[in-house]
Amino acid sequence: MYALIDCNSFYVSCERLFRPDLRTSAVVVLSNNDGCIISRSDEAKALGIKMGEPFFNIKELIRNKNVTAFSSNYTLYGDLSARVMATLAAIVPDIEIYSIDEAFLLLNETHTDLEILGHTLRNTVKQHTGIPVGVGIAPTKTLAKLANKLAKRSGGVHIIYPNKIDQSWAQATFDDVWGLGRQHTKKLRAHFIDTIEQFIQQPEEWVRKNFSVIGLRTQRELKGIPCIEMEDVADKKSICTSRSFGNLQTEFYDIQEAIASHAASCAEKLRLQGSRAGSMHVTLSKSRFTNETGQLYFGIFIKLPEPTNNTSTLIQFATEGLRNIFQKGHVYKKCGVIVMDIVPEETVQLNMFESLQNDKRTKLEVAMDQINRKMGKHTLRHAIQGYQHVWKLRKENISPNYTTNLNEIVCINVGYI
């Protein structure tokens, strides 16, 4: 049996965790640069606010209905996600982290009372992290996803038992099925297939011909035949750090600060997973909403002398790449750094002539990483990353980093005894 745990309106739940006054109020979280709605509370949904709706289109509604809007705070969300996943892993060790707010658990013969297990998972996560979750348990991953959807309508926990799979088909629609997108749904209805049960009844040969092996896999999973195995959390094969500017940029040194910061972020992520990168790609984009003509996207591939996760080295090559693609007199909206050809650190052949220098750099970066994790991101940084950051994303409604920055920790005045 598989369990799928999904955090409810995760970004909103993270914000409400430290704002109990908003637990029954309409709340939304915005995308980068405060562009679109990416998370909504139930109260916001009831007001008709749609996922992905541009923020500027509903500013009047938000103001008139006293909706609280937060800029996205991925540092906070990432830390709380890690706490949720650690809590789940302590109960069921065989875990696959599917996304920032979802995880699959592989259950075994020791998990005999699934109802109790489901409520234990839900209650423990709530107690340890404050984040509400839904739990779906079923014989396959696809059915577990479906059970999780049904859990939202039945108190937070829903179990599809092997002998009652057909009952779940009648409780759901194609929109609830993992693996059946809009195009698949349109195609099914064009063939007068309107229910999950009708889809299940189709011959496998027909399903494979019309919906490929992916559609066939989905059909079998809905029947209770496992076709999608648990996956190990593998190290990333490439790492991208890319952001739109808060305001359009024209000056090289302002964009250089952004590129240097993106390269430093990639280096930190490489060290975190114990890897090094052998190449990088530096990108720069013009804005489509100006009078700019000609090519809008620029990029340069750089082969590094040897695989590295050293911040100084990555900043050096990223800056050189920027010099080659930057054109003065143009208006830019976005830049980024992608590191590729990633290999485990222990497999890299060292250069015998630089071992002492590399050792010093390693110690320095370990110290910087420790301080930044304890005191907050970019507490220590390279001078080239700057400090004014005129290129930073617009975050007019950003919440504090309550759990990762000692300067922003919640303080409670309890008076004097």
CATH code where residue 41 lies: 3.40.1170.60
Same domain (yes/no): 342, 363: yes
Please, what sign has the CA dihedral across residues 56, 62, 64, 68? negative
What is the C-alpha separation between 106 and 92, in angstroms, rounded?
A: 8
Contact 139, 226 (CB under 8 A): yes
Same domain (yes/no): 124, 170: yes
Same domain (yes/no): 66, 87: no
Indicate the residue type of 11. Y
Contact 219, 228 (CB under 8 A): no
Q: What pLDDT is attached to residue 245?
A: 86
- Helix (H/G/I), strand (E/B), else coil: 228: coil
Same domain (yes/no): 163, 253: no
Q: What pLDDT is attached to residue 350?
A: 62
DSSP 288-340: TTSS--S--EEEEEEEEEEEE--HHHHHHHHHHHHHHH--TT--EEEEEEEEE
The answer as to whether 142 is a domain residue is: yes
CATH code where residue 285 lies: 3.30.1490.100
Same domain (yes/no): 53, 90: no
H or E segment and range at residue 92: none
Q: What pLDDT is attached to residue 286?
A: 87
CATH code where residue 94 lies: 3.30.70.270
3-state secondary structure 141-178: HHHHHHHHHHHCCCCCEEECCHHHHHHHHHCCCHHHCC
Domain count, the chain: 3
The answer as to whether 6 is a domain residue is: no
Q: Which residue has the tokens 């507490």?
A: 379
CA 138 to chain centre: 25
Same domain (yes/no): 84, 67: no
Task: Find all residues with CB under 8 Å of 97, minimum gap 6, and list them.
Answer: 85, 103, 233
The answer as to whether 29 is a domain residue is: yes
| pTM listed for this prediction | 0.77
Domain range holding 277?
Answer: 239-385
- Helix (H/G/I), strand (E/B), else coil: 268: helix
Q: What pLDDT is attached to residue 357?
A: 54
- Which parts of 105-251 fold into alpha helices (H)? 114-129, 141-151, 165-170, 182-190, 196-200, 204-223
What is the C-alpha separation between 381 and 64, in angstroms, rounded?
A: 42
Contact 140, 170 (CB under 8 A): no
For every one of its 417 residues, what pLDDT tens digit does the chain have, with 9 covering 90 and above?
A: 999 999 999 999 999 999 999 999 999 999 888 889 999 999 999 999 999 999 989 989 989 999 999 999 988 999 999 999 999 999 999 999 988 999 999 998 888 899 999 999 999 999 999 999 999 999 999 999 999 999 988 889 999 999 989 888 888 888 888 888 888 888 888 889 888 999 999 999 998 998 888 889 999 999 999 988 887 655 667 888 888 888 888 889 989 999 999 999 999 999 888 889 999 999 999 877 777 677 888 999 999 988 998 899 999 999 999 999 998 888 898 999 999 988 888 777 666 555 545 667 778 888 888 888 777 777 788 888 877 666 676 777 888 888 887 788 888 877 765
For residue 204, count CB atoms less than 10 angstroms from its CB and return exposed for 0-12, middle for 13-18, buried for 19 or more.
Answer: exposed
